[in-house]
Amino acid sequence: MQQAEPAMSCEKCGAKLEVVRRCRQVRLKCTDCQREFQIHEVASRLDSATEALLGQYTTIIYD
């Protein structure tokens, strides 16, 4: 069974958001305007595919 692609969009420009993992943090970053969102900023509108992707990380640091 294939997982769905995350379909989150940027609040600023409407482009696709991608999950970016760095040492000690995970963010959602716009593929167009490059704005970054902390997880708690978009938590209320996470789609199931993005939630599943974020679930792969053992710890998400909110900074």
d(CA 42, CA 37): 7
The CA-CA-CA angle for residues 1, 4, 53, to 5°, reads: 100
Q: What pLDDT does residue 18 have? A: 93
User: Looking at per-residue confidence, does 6 or 60 come out higher?
Assistant: 6
Q: What's the number of domains the chain is made of? A: 1
Residues 13-56: tens digit of each pLDDT: 999 999 998 877 889 999 999 999 998 899 999 999 999 888 88
Q: What is the residue range of 8's domain?
A: 1-63
pLDDT grade, residue 1 (50/70/90)? very low
